[in-house]
A and B are shown apart, each in its own frame.
Chain A
Amino acid sequence: MEPRTDAKVCGMGHSMKRKEDPRFIRGQGRYVDDIQLPGMLFMDIVRSPFAHARIKSIDTSRALQIPGVLAVITGETLAKYNLHWMPTLSADTQMVLPTEKVMYQSQEVAAVIATDRYTAADGVDAVEVDYEALPVMVDPFASLAPGAPVLRTDKKDKKDNLAFHWEAGDRAATDRAFREAEVVVSEDLYVPRIHVASIETCGCIADFNAAEGKLTVYMTTQAPHAVRTVFALVAGHVGLSEEKIRIVSPDIGGGFGGKVPVYPGYVIAVAASVVIGKPVKWIEDRMENLQADSFARDYHMKAELAATRDGKMLGLRIKTVADHGYTNASANPSKFPAGLFSICTGSYDLKHAFCEVDAAYTNKPPGGVAYRCSFRVTEAVHAIERIVDVLAQKLRMDPAELRMRNFIKPEQFPYKSVLGWEYDSGDYPRALKLALDKIGYAELRKEQAEKRKRGELMGIGICSFTEIVGAGPAKDFDILGLKMFDSAEIRVHPTGKAIARFGTKSQGQGHETTYAQIVAEELGIPAAHVQVEEGDTDTAPYGLGTYASRSTPTAGAAGAMAARKIRDKARKIAAQLLEVSEEDLVWEPGKFSVKGAPQRFKTIQELAFAAYTTPLSGGMEAGMEATSYYDPPNLTFPFGSYVCVVDIDRGTGMVKVRRFLAVDDCGNIINPMIVDGQIHGGLTQGLAPALFEEMSYDENGNNLAGSFIDYLLPTAMETPAWETDKTVTPCPHHPLGAKGVGESATVGAPPAIANAVVDALAHLGVRNIDIPITPEKVWKILKEKGVAE
């Protein structure tokens, strides 16, 4: 799409340089730990070495003797205020600090408040906790087995460890389709527990001003407004009232879903500040972050696909056991306990599908955040895109050909999926064809065949994913009852410059730039003159925040709608000033001119000035401001086709991603440079769980990847030079035709990589390797098949 505005205005389609960069490249970003308040104290947390244990006693005396240690807060302290439990985002319950039992390793046990971070750390070392170890449940299948010891003894009448059961689709009809099918493939697929590991950990400064009764919390949150409401609901009974709570989310050093939940540390810091009357800072270290903050994924799936012998897919069945840790703290919309997993029919025109999830409690940290994906879409896409390859293998059909044969056709959109979604728009064959042509698929297949003859292992993997983002329409989507609209408020100043505030919160996505471009697109005010603000609940309009690729589909749309309200008013003022009727005016970005007399026009700057300086007719009020609360009519469905080429070292099993081409379609694009950057980052966070990252536990619930020593973030050396391209299929219902892009690549990359590795070994009879595909997993196969060096 050619930009409608010139480079000076910098509306949609311009690769505008980011407005946030000047401060970041000078080291003048303002992250939570950069803020120092007068008299500020520091909090550090005592954590459980056991995954399951009864707390017999907590001795704080030695800690309290350390000069500078002011207080040690325990569950008993909080219980006095009835603040020792809190609700999770999935309306389950979670301990703030325990009074009886700890349920996972590294759970918060007590908090030390001291004058500085060094003394607080010494205080943590000096707190003596006496534990009685309890049997540990780490296996979700064992946890769900009949007769398993009940973990949530805090819940009256709970007789098992089932957190919830969820299902979608017609079970009977799907079963019938499977019984009648000529070909059925089935595969157990595990998408392991992973952790977002943003480079900035979580933290906050809670600052309670007793004189004003006002609480200000600077915190690493992707959803400041929702947090304010949660605080008001949780602590209303101790006098925290929502108008007296201000949440400030300053610059955020990466979120990826991990900064959506309200962690116990935040709540304890607030309690400490309220009790002590001074600002209290809490900053996690990396091990706390990895070991205690919300996990993602952890889905054990059995995926089955039914088809005809000539490759027509008929039905999909997926049964999942989900490990939720000790509480269901998933950051999901309330009506969707398994998120948007029912997108699992993917890009294919399937007539029958059924999926179900049994969620288990275990002695592991809670969570169920997304790791840069829209509510369990990654799991769903992994299931369908892997099982399609398994089918291709069984049918001895090229995986690209099988996909082409079963894609939802462009003319079928809007497409109603058998599991109930209405896909907005798409052209799947075009994206796959572009990807295949661009990477030289046919030549690669030839090269592979030649290499196979020489005993060399090379694989090509495809993934044609469909995303579902932009939650979401208020009729279906809420979190703790809060509808998932989002908002924008624009004020155009007399000199024609503007400030725009949004209910979302960027964590690197570049909202200060792209939102300004949206306003520029709609009003013709240069994006350089649009100041964007987010994250301060005292000033920004209410919104549900940034996650699930929802900012552009919701708040971005709100920005366009608010701008259009302003344009409507500007039109009225222009009509008055030009003495014509509104219908006689033509809009082009930045000005209204008279139809047939283009030399007679008023610029948006002139109209803004008039709004504040000229008596307005027709009862029009002064000023030029508008607010929009945008309730999206539907979700958006970005898609793409990825092709990955891998080489495998026959000596070590090491997989090298030689090439990776991503063709994405996220509808109309606001800033191509930023979209490309989002895709590069998403691909890397797809590569990471595909080959490196896994949060695993031993039989005692000990975390085995609790630091960057074993939780392996890829460096520039492991990360390939990503190649990208795009198709553009506008969203029919979004005011700008945009769909959102932040997470597409995270969702699409893992199956492309897994498919490539399996493809390299397919001639040896390999059907699946669970991610992360470590060298040893591959080597074991090579050894078994007698091809290891």
Chain B
Amino acid sequence: MIPAPFDYHAPATVPEAVALLTRYRDTAKVLAGGQSLLPLLKLRLGAAAQLVDIGRIPGLEYVEERGNTLRIGGCTRESTLERSELVRARYPILLDTAKVIADPVVRNRATVGGNLAHGDPANDHPATMLALGAEVVAVGPKGERTIPVDRFFRGLFEVALEPDEILTEIRIPAPPARSGGAYAKLERKVGDFATAAAAAQVTLGSSGTVERAGLALTNAGATPIRVEAAEAYLKGKKPERATLAEAARLAAQAATPQADRRGTVEYKRQMARVMAQRALESAVARAGGR
């Protein structure tokens, strides 16, 4: 498999990269870790005349908490996330997610920003970020803007970035006390996209009821799906098994999967339910609710 010819650019700064994207617009593609883009180009399923490699721009790879926000640089490798003590201690949902993306060798190249910006509903971080209520930072010719992640995914392989914008950072609100999150994924084997997967982030109030719940699904439709009905349902309720089961049922209802080799529509929808249930159970347990 050999990609068709293209030109390669390695800007040293974000403004340089933006300038290149402004110049080439629709014929350019941003290259970060390349673990989704390069296979597409090799299969000649996608074409790009210009690749703008943002992987050489210093300062785009970090995981740090500042104030009440976790900031992840757009070019942060999945493996960095996986090995971050901060993530392990405070954001287990991110660790859950990073650990099931592709395989360990791919994760040494794949980036968190790329996982979101590719707009593939089968990618794992989108659901997690939806559950966490994250926002992304985009830099373009007019400067920087932030986009709430639930307005980021527009359609199949379509995100809210302009062709001349670069995703530079992901911001996640630091979870208050008695919070927990988890990601549950059903995959046929390591390295596969999800047959179904769900991300759940739960904060419990002092009375033990759910104060805030985030629930989202991977590979259950043309975009990652945030299950607002389930989030609303859970709010104020005790996180008992039957309650979580009802939330999971609402998740299945929200799923609009397509049949493929991973399963029929019916199976995938039910697996969205089972994964939602399991993610919620672990999230609640991690929040100290069980």
Q: A residues engaging B (CB < 8 A)?
A: 117-118, 121-122, 125, 285-287, 651-652, 654, 692, 704-705, 709-710, 712, 714-715, 717-718, 774-776, 779-780, 783, 788-789
Chain B, 177-221, contact with A by CB distance < 8 Å: what is the 0/1 string?
000000000101111100100000000000000000000000000
- Is the beta-carbon distance between A715 and B4 smaller than 8 angstroms? no
Q: Given A287-B1, A779-B267, answer yes or no on A654-B189 (Cβ-Cβ < 8 Å).
A: no
- Is the beta-carbon distance between B274 and A692 smaller than 8 angstroms? no
- Is the beta-carbon distance between B274 and A710 smaller than 8 angstroms? no
Q: Given A117-B2, A776-B263, A779-B267, answer yes or no on A717-B278 (Cβ-Cβ < 8 Å).
A: no
- Per the 8 Å Cβ criterion, residues 244-271 of B in contact with A are 261, 263-264, 267, 270-271
Judged by a CB distance under 8 angstroms, whether B67 is at the interface is: no
Complex CA–CA separation, A286 to B1 (angstroms): 8
- Is the beta-carbon distance between A715 and B5 smaller than 8 angstroms? no
- Is the beta-carbon distance between A717 and B189 smaller than 8 angstroms? yes
CB distance from B46 to the nearest CB of A (A): 14
Q: Given A775-B186, A779-B270, answer yes or no on A125-B4 (Cβ-Cβ < 8 Å).
A: yes
Contacts of A775 in B (CB 8 A): 186, 188, 195, 263
Contacts of A780 in B (CB 8 A): 267
- Is the beta-carbon distance between A121 and B263 smaller than 8 angstroms? no
Judged by a CB distance under 8 angstroms, whether B103 is at the interface is: yes
- Is the beta-carbon distance between A714 and B189 smaller than 8 angstroms? yes
Could you jot down 8 A-B contacts, CB within 8 Å? A122-B4, A122-B5, A285-B1, A651-B277, A775-B186, A775-B263, A779-B270, A779-B271
- Is the beta-carbon distance between B189 and A651 smaller than 8 angstroms? no
- Is the beta-carbon distance between A652 and B186 smaller than 8 angstroms? yes
Complex CA–CA separation, A714 to B187 (angstroms): 12
Q: Which of A121, A122, A718, A776 has the most CB of B within 10 A?
A: A776
Closest B residue to A707 using CB positions: B43
- Is the beta-carbon distance between A718 and B264 smaller than 8 angstroms? no
Contacts of B154 in A (CB 8 A): none
Q: B residues engaging A (CB < 8 A)?
A: 1-2, 4-5, 44, 103, 186, 188-192, 195, 261, 263-264, 267, 270-271, 274, 277-278
Contacts of A651 in B (CB 8 A): 274, 277-278
Contacts of B270 in A (CB 8 A): 779, 783, 788
CB distance from B127 to the nearest CB of A (A): 18
Closest B residue to A120 using CB positions: B2
Contacts of A788 in B (CB 8 A): 270
- Is the beta-carbon distance between B189 and A718 smaller than 8 angstroms? yes
Interface of A (DSSP majority class): loop
CB distance from A42 to the nearest CB of B (A): 10
Q: Which of A287, A652, A779 has the most CB of B within 10 A?
A: A652
Q: Which of B44, B190, B264, B274 has the most CB of A within 10 A?
A: B274
CB distance from A179 to the nearest CB of B (A): 41
- Is the beta-carbon distance between A652 and B271 smaller than 8 angstroms? yes
Partner of B189, one of A118, A652, A692: A692
Contacts of A287 in B (CB 8 A): 1
Complex CA–CA separation, A709 to B267 (angstroms): 20
- Is the beta-carbon distance between A776 and B267 smaller than 8 angstroms? yes
Contacts of B263 in A (CB 8 A): 774-776
Partner of B274, one of A285, A709, A789: A789
- Is the beta-carbon distance between A718 and B274 smaller than 8 angstroms? no
Complex CA–CA separation, A734 to B109 (angstroms): 53
- Is the beta-carbon distance between A125 and B192 smaller than 8 angstroms? no
CB distance from A124 to the nearest CB of B (A): 9
Contacts of A285 in B (CB 8 A): 1
Closest A residue to B44 using CB positions: A125
CB distance from A135 to the nearest CB of B (A): 24
Complex CA–CA separation, A780 to B271 (angstroms): 12
Given contacts A125-B4, A775-B188, 7 further A-B contacts (CB under 8 A): A651-B278, A692-B188, A709-B192, A712-B189, A715-B191, A779-B267, A789-B274
CB distance from A126 to the nearest CB of B (A): 10
Contacts of A715 in B (CB 8 A): 103, 189-191
Complex CA–CA separation, A353 to B277 (angstroms): 52
Complex CA–CA separation, A121 to B264 (angstroms): 36
Contacts of A710 in B (CB 8 A): 261
Closest B residue to A286 using CB positions: B1
Contacts of B2 in A (CB 8 A): 117-118, 121-122
Closest B residue to A696 using CB positions: B261
CB distance from B45 to the nearest CB of A (A): 11
CB distance from A292 to the nearest CB of B (A): 15
CB distance from A329 to the nearest CB of B (A): 26
Contacts of A774 in B (CB 8 A): 188, 263
Closest B residue to A44 using CB positions: B2
Partner of B188, one of A121, A712, A779, A783: A712
Closest B residue to A711 using CB positions: B261
CB distance from B44 to the nearest CB of A (A): 7
Closest B residue to A716 using CB positions: B190
Q: Given A651-B278, A718-B189, answer yes or no on A704-B5 (Cβ-Cβ < 8 Å).
A: no
> Top 7 nearest A-B pairs by Cβ distance?
A121-B2, A651-B274, A776-B267, A717-B190, A715-B190, A776-B263, A710-B261
Q: Given A117-B2, A125-B4, A779-B270, answer yes or no on A654-B186 (Cβ-Cβ < 8 Å).
A: yes
CB distance from A700 to the nearest CB of B (A): 16
Contacts of B264 in A (CB 8 A): 776
Closest B residue to A704 using CB positions: B261
Complex CA–CA separation, A233 to B277 (angstroms): 65
Complex CA–CA separation, A448 to B287 (angstroms): 35
Closest B residue to A713 using CB positions: B189
Partner of B261, one of A117, A286, A705, A779: A705
Complex CA–CA separation, A286 to B42 (angstroms): 12
Contacts of A783 in B (CB 8 A): 270
CB distance from A63 to the nearest CB of B (A): 14
Complex CA–CA separation, A715 to B103 (angstroms): 10
Complex CA–CA separation, A774 to B268 (angstroms): 13
Complex CA–CA separation, A428 to B10 (angstroms): 67
Contacts of A714 in B (CB 8 A): 189
Complex CA–CA separation, A447 to B3 (angstroms): 55
Complex CA–CA separation, A654 to B263 (angstroms): 13
- Is the beta-carbon distance between A712 and B195 smaller than 8 angstroms? no
CB distance from B270 to the nearest CB of A (A): 7
Closest A residue to B188 using CB positions: A712
Complex CA–CA separation, A710 to B193 (angstroms): 10
CB distance from A709 to the nearest CB of B (A): 8
Complex CA–CA separation, A788 to B271 (angstroms): 11
- Is the beta-carbon distance between A652 and B1 smaller than 8 angstroms? no
- Is the beta-carbon distance between A712 and B267 smaller than 8 angstroms? no
Q: Given A122-B4, A704-B261, answer yes or no on A712-B192 (Cβ-Cβ < 8 Å).
A: yes
Contacts of B261 in A (CB 8 A): 704-705, 710
Complex CA–CA separation, A360 to B6 (angstroms): 46
CB distance from A753 to the nearest CB of B (A): 15
Contacts of B190 in A (CB 8 A): 715, 717-718
Complex CA–CA separation, A121 to B42 (angstroms): 10
CB distance from B120 to the nearest CB of A (A): 13
CB distance from B145 to the nearest CB of A (A): 35
CB distance from A694 to the nearest CB of B (A): 9
Complex CA–CA separation, A651 to B277 (angstroms): 10
CB distance from A652 to the nearest CB of B (A): 5
CB distance from B121 to the nearest CB of A (A): 16
CB distance from A324 to the nearest CB of B (A): 24
CB distance from B192 to the nearest CB of A (A): 7
Closest A residue to B192 using CB positions: A712
- Is the beta-carbon distance between B274 and A652 smaller than 8 angstroms? yes
Contacts of A121 in B (CB 8 A): 1-2
CB distance from A777 to the nearest CB of B (A): 10
CB distance from B184 to the nearest CB of A (A): 10
Contacts of A718 in B (CB 8 A): 189-190
Contacts of B103 in A (CB 8 A): 715
Closest B residue to A779 using CB positions: B267
CB distance from A770 to the nearest CB of B (A): 16
Complex CA–CA separation, A117 to B186 (angstroms): 38
CB distance from B222 to the nearest CB of A (A): 19
Contacts of B44 in A (CB 8 A): 125
